[in-house]
């Protein structure tokens, strides 16, 4: 933070808050007058000035006037401050301020600040920080600071409006990019190239699909915010589309790779902090593709993977296409066909003779461990002799031989189909 943490001043009024986006295309700090406002105020008052967005990320900073401290230097170098300091600042209510106030942080060698909220049309768009080394700011200087914050509010509001228009245009193009109409997809790819968003040279595209499982309207809001948080990873280009229950990110990067883990962790953490109990979000990671025309494949794979994570909780909150084994084939089946296919006669007979489910559990563990007796026995916590006895009973009831590859395949796929069918029925 180029300013400081709060000390003893409460908010005056509560109004809406808007986080000015900081996606890759916005990080260049457009030449729209914000820097000029900061520099002008700094020169007039001969004090260091900076403007942060509502999440305490630096938007513009003046030169130093010999009054800098470690917090300001770190903020200018990193363009943000630590999450703990951000939480401390926002936790004291400065987002509700409508007039400038004095703030300090109880940290060694940190100077006092004047914090002026940057607002326009009732929206909080940032904070203007002015280092007040000796506490000698007079009313005229405070008024000049407040006037500068008001001008900055107009600039940031204009920037927000332009960004929202750009976002709406990009969302419309992305929806066409994954539509069922081939001609529409081709046109959408051309439109995106015309935007000059992506780096020149070899570029890999990958879709991450996020889907809400359960929850209410608050979960839908949490999803959009969480996905926006995920966009703040790295310096590559990322675009997003969101609706009530699902959202997806198109990430473009050099072939070196996409920071999937970092993006997913930020999305999951942000969603949990906003949605609370009763809802969860799962993320499907699609296949990497080389061209915009193939993004539709990555999109389909991403949401099939997310669907697998919803139906099979053991997969975890993040499901990667290419690592889902038979589910990648089975989830492509229409639901009615899947439900019908799950009625495998051999397994129906096994269940009829297995009222406690012990044999079904044994068969599943045995097949999941590729027929390894030692691993299966350890999994089930039984002696090998007991396991062999159970396997013999399974062969008797199913009429299948566990030494036959075809019979194993039939039973294994049947068990997977059975699990998916049960999940579909529960959700229905």
Task: Give the mean pLDDT of 272-292.
Answer: 86
In this prediction, residues 268-293 reach a mean pLDDT of: 87
Q: Taking residues 349-369, what's their average pLDDT?
A: 93
Whole-number pLDDT of residue 88: 76
Q: Which CATH number fits domain 24-162: 3.90.1200.10, 3.30.1330.20, 3.90.1860.10, 3.30.450.40?
A: 3.30.450.40
Q: Which residue has the tokens 């009732």?
A: 122
Residue 103 has pLDDT above 50, yes or no: yes
User: Span 335-427: which CATH code?
Assistant: 1.10.10.2840
The pLDDT confidence band at residue 227, using thresholds 50, 70 and 90, is confident
Say yes or no to pLDDT of 151 above 90.
yes
- In this structure, are residues 366 and 415 in contact, taking their beta carbons and an 8 Å threshold? no
Mean pLDDT computed over 384-411: 94
pLDDT level of residue 104 (50, 70, 90 thresholds): confident
Q: Collapsing DSSP states into helix, strand and coil, what is residue 372?
A: coil
Q: Provide the pLDDT for residue 154.
A: 95
Query: Where in the chain is CATH 1.10.10.2840?
Result: 335-427
pLDDT of residue 352 exceeding 80: yes
Which pLDDT band holds residue 259 (cuts at 50, 70, 90)?
A: confident
pLDDT value for 403: 93
Which of the four pLDDT bands, split at 50, 70 and 90, describes residue 238? confident
Residue 132's CB: how many other CB atoms inside 10 A? 24
List every span in the chain annotated with CATH 3.30.70.270: 203-330
pLDDT band at 383; cut points 50, 70, 90 = very high
Neighbour-count burial of 115, counting CB atoms closer than 10 A to its CB (0-12 exposed, 13-18 middle, 19+ buried): buried
The CATH class for the domain spanning 203-330 reads alpha beta
Helix extents (H) in 281-357: 295-311, 327-330, 335-341, 345-352
Look at the pTM and tell me if it is higher than 0.75: no
Please report the pLDDT score of residue 93 as a whole number: 82
Q: Where are the alpha helices (DSSP H) in 118-216?
A: 139-177, 182-194
284 close to 308: Cβ distance less than 8 angstroms: yes
Nearest 10 degrees: Cα torsion 30, 33, 39, 44: -170
The residues of the chain that CATH labels 3.30.450.40 are 24-162
């Amino acid at each position: 933070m180029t300013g400081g943490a709060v000390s003893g001043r409460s908010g005056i009024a509560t109004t809406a808050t808007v986080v000015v986006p900081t996606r890759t295309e916005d990080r260049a700090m457009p030449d729209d007058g914000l820097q000029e406002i900061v520099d002008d105020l700094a020169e007039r008052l001969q004090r260091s000035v900076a403007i942060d967005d509502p999440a305490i990320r630096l938007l513009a900073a003046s030169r130093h006037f010999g009054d800098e401290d470690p917090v300001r230097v770190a903020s200018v170098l990193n363009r943000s401050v630590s999450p703990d300091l951000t939480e401390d600042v926002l936790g004291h209510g400065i987002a509700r301020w409508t007039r400038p106030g004095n703030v300090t942080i109880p940290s060694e060698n940190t100077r006092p600040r004047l914090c002026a909220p940057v607002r326009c049309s009732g929206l909080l768009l940032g904070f203007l920080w002015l280092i007040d080394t000796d506490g000698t700011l007079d009313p005229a200087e405070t008024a000049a600071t407040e006037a500068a914050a008001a001008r900055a509010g107009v600039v940031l509001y204009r920037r927000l409006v332009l960004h929202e228009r750009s976002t709406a245009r990009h969302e419309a193009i992305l929806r066409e990019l994954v539509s069922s109409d081939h001609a529409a997809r081709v046109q959408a790819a051309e439109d995106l190239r015309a935007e000059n968003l992506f780096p020149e040279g070899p570029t890999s595209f990958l879709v991450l699909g996020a889907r809400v499982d359960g929850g209410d309207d608050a979960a839908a809001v949490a999803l959009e915010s969480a996905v926006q948080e995920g966009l703040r990873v790295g310096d590559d280009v990322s675009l997003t589309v969101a609706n009530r229950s699902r959202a997806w990110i198109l990430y473009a990067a050099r072939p070196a790779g996409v920071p999937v883990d970092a993006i997913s962790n930020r999305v999951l953490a942000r969603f949990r902090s906003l949605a609370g109990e009763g809802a969860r979000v799962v993320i499907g990671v699609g296949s990497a593709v080389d061209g915009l025309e193939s993004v539709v494949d990555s999109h389909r794979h991403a949401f099939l993977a997310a669907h697998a994570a919803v139906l099979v909780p053991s997969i975890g909150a993040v499901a990667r296409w290419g690592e889902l084994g038979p589910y990648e084939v089975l989830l492509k089946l229409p639901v009615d066909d899947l439900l019908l296919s799950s009625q495998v006669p051999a397994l129906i007979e096994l269940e009829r003779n297995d009222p406690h489910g012990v044999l079904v559990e044994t068969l599943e563990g045995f097949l999941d461990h590729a027929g390894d007796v030692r691993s299966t026995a350890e999994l089930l916590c039984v002696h090998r002799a007991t396991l062999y006895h159970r396997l013999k009973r399974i062969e008797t009831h199913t009429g299948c031989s566990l030494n036959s590859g075809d019979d194993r395949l039939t039973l294994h796929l049947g068990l997977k189909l059975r699990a998916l069918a049960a999940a579909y029925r529960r959700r229905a």
